[in-house]
Amino acid sequence: MNTRLINTQTAKTQMANTRCPCGQNQHYSECCEPYHLNVNTAADVETLMRSRYCAFVFQEFQYLLDTHHPDFLNGLSIALLAENASSTTWLGLTVDEANQTANHGTVTFKAWFLHDGIIDAIFEASQFERVGGQWFYTTGEQKQAKLPKRNETCICHSGKKFKTCCLKKIS
């Protein structure tokens, strides 16, 4: 078993009784873990998107593939998802908007991360489709994210100012 996998499993074990990285005020074991273990399926697009963010945090790449619409994979694989995973630290998730109809939905969010000493975000309006009662990610429209100002609330939801929290992680 490789070190990255051991560290990810250790982090998940420690996280089981702490707040879930998806931003909901629940323990991981009661929030996104049942989706990652295929015990539950997401009832709405926001829940699916949050569980997918959490899957990036815990490197649950099979879950990401399983919840990605097969017609939109475009060669996506576990190997591609894992390429930069060990050098990426996920900092926080902000959901700006979520809308859905019976079989289509959109979630606009910012998923903040630290990679190679730079803080950035996936700022996307993600599209989802329901097939056979299950929601799947299809595509996303990328947007440009702006870092918060120094005195604004931190992106990791610590409640601290950005300058005294995640801004200190920039090398």
Predicted confidence band of residue 8 (pLDDT cuts 50, 70, 90): low
* Cα→Cα distances 25→20, 31, 127, Å: 7, 9, 25
d(CA 149, CA 92): 16
Tens-digit pLDDT profile for residues 57-66: 999 999 999 9
Sign of CA dihedral 146, 148, 153, 156: positive
Residue-wise pLDDT tens digits, 125-171 = 999 999 999 999 999 999 999 999 999 999 999 999 999 999 999 86
CB 111 within 8 A of CB 49: no
Closest CA to 136 of 55, 69, 40: 69
CA distance 164 to 66: 38
